Amino acid sequence: MGIVLGPNRYGKAETRVVRVRRDGDVHHIRDLNVGISLSGDMDEAHLTGDNAAVLPTDSQKNTVFAFAREHGIGEIEEFALLLARHFTGSQPTIRHARVEVEEYAWSRVPSSSGHSFVRSGTEVRTALVHSEGTGGAESVVSGLKDLVVLNSTGSEFHGFIQDEYTTLQPTRDRILATAVTARWRHRVPGGGGYGASFAAARRCLLEAFAETHSLSLQQTLYQMGRRVLEEREELCEVRLAMPNKHHFLVDLSPFGLDNDNEVFFAADRPYGLIEGTVLDDAAPAAPDAWN
Ligand SMILES: O=c1[nH]c(=O)c2[nH]c(=O)[nH]c2[nH]1
C-alpha cells in the first residue's frame, strides 16, 4: 500500500466583519461572515512541516478586516473576488482561492435616528467565488438561504408510489412551506451588476413559488429555478435545496370539532429534503464552481 497526500486546502473560516459607514449622523452597516480556503503548493507543509508556502490563516483574517477598511464593502460577490484575487495574485504558492461570504441584512428601526438597526428576518444572502488568479479560471455563484415561504393552499400531493409501508394519504389541498436555499451561477464571472441580479433572482423565486399550483415540491422547485433562468440572461445554472416543512392537519374530532384545513401541527423534523439543479444545457459545465 502506498500512502500519499490527496487534495487539501486551508484557510480562515467564519471571519465575522461588520463595517459601519458614517454619513454624518446617518450610519450604514454591512454584516458579513467570510470563509477563505486556499490551495496550492502545500505538499511540504503536510509532508515535512515546512511552512514556507503557508500564508497564515491569521493573516487571511486580517486581510478581510483591512480590505473592509480600505476598499469598503460593495456587493458581496465583488468583495469575495477582491479577496480571492488578492491571495492568488500576491502569493506564488497559492494557486487557488475559494471565498465564501454570507451577508446578514439589517434595516433601520423606524423613526429612529440614523444609528439604530433591526435584523431583517432569517434570510441570508450568499456568494461563493473561486479564483486561480490573473488569467486563470474564475467562477461566481450568488444565492440566498433560509428564505422561508408558505402557500396556505394551491398545493396537492397524490399519485405517488404505495408500498407496504405507505400510510400517507393523498391530498388535493395542503400547506406547502419551505426554507429555500438557492444558488445561481453567473455566466460571466466578474461581470458585475450583482445587486440588481440578486434582487431580480430573489423576486423570480418568490413569484414562481407563489404562482405555481403545486403538485409536488419537486415541481415547484423546478419552476422556481426555471423562472430565474428565463428572466436572467446573466445566470446559467440554479441549484436549490428545499426542506418540506410539513404541516399536518390536526384531528380535532375527539373534541367534537371539525377541521376544514384550518388548524395544523407544524412539525420541524423529520422533513423531506428536495434538491435539484436547473440549468441552461448550452452553458459550459462548471462543477468546481459549487465546491
Ligand atoms: O412535495 C412532496 N414531495 C415528496 O416527495 C413527498 N413525500 C412526502 O411524503 N410528501 C411529499 N411532498
- In tens, the pLDDT along 230-283 reads 999 999 999 999 999 999 999 999 999 999 999 999 999 999 999 999 999 999
* Residue % of the chain over a pLDDT of 70: 100
Is the pLDDT at 10 greater than 90, yes or no?
yes
Helix ranges (DSSP H) in 98-253: 194-211, 217-231
Is the pLDDT at 133 greater than 90, yes or no?
no
Same domain, 95 and 173: no
Which of 162, 244, 273 has most ligand 1 atoms within 8 Å of its beta carbon, as the pocket-test mutant?
Answer: 244
Quote ipTM for the complex. Answer: 0.99
Q: Given this model, what pLDDT does residue 73 score?
A: 98
CATH number at residue 204: 3.10.270.10
- In tens, the pLDDT along 84-131 reads 999 999 999 999 999 999 999 999 999 888 999 999 989 999 999 999
- In tens, the pLDDT along 135-169 reads 899 999 999 999 999 999 999 999 999 999 999 99
Same domain, 175 and 253: yes
Same domain, 91 and 164: no
Mean pLDDT, residues 36-58: 98
Whose cell is 497564515? That residue is 56
Q: Given this model, what pLDDT does residue 135 score?
A: 86
- In tens, the pLDDT along 190-225 reads 899 999 999 999 999 999 999 999 999 999 999 999
Helix ranges (DSSP H) in the chain: 43-47, 57-71, 76-90, 194-211, 217-231
Same domain, 164 and 180: yes
Same domain, 170 and 132: no
Same domain, 166 and 112: no
Decide: 15 in ligand 1 pocket, CB within 6 A: no
Range of the structural domain that residue 104 is part of: 8-136
Q: Is 85 a domain residue?
A: yes
Q: Given this model, what pLDDT does residue 159 score?
A: 98
Same domain, 112 and 219: no
Is the Cβ–Cβ distance between 222 and 276 less than 8 Å?
yes
Which of 157, 161, 178 has most ligand 1 atoms within 8 Å of its beta carbon, as the pocket-test mutant?
Answer: 157
Report residue 182: phi and psi, to 5°: -135, 140
Same domain, 131 and 149: no
Q: Is 2 a domain residue?
A: no
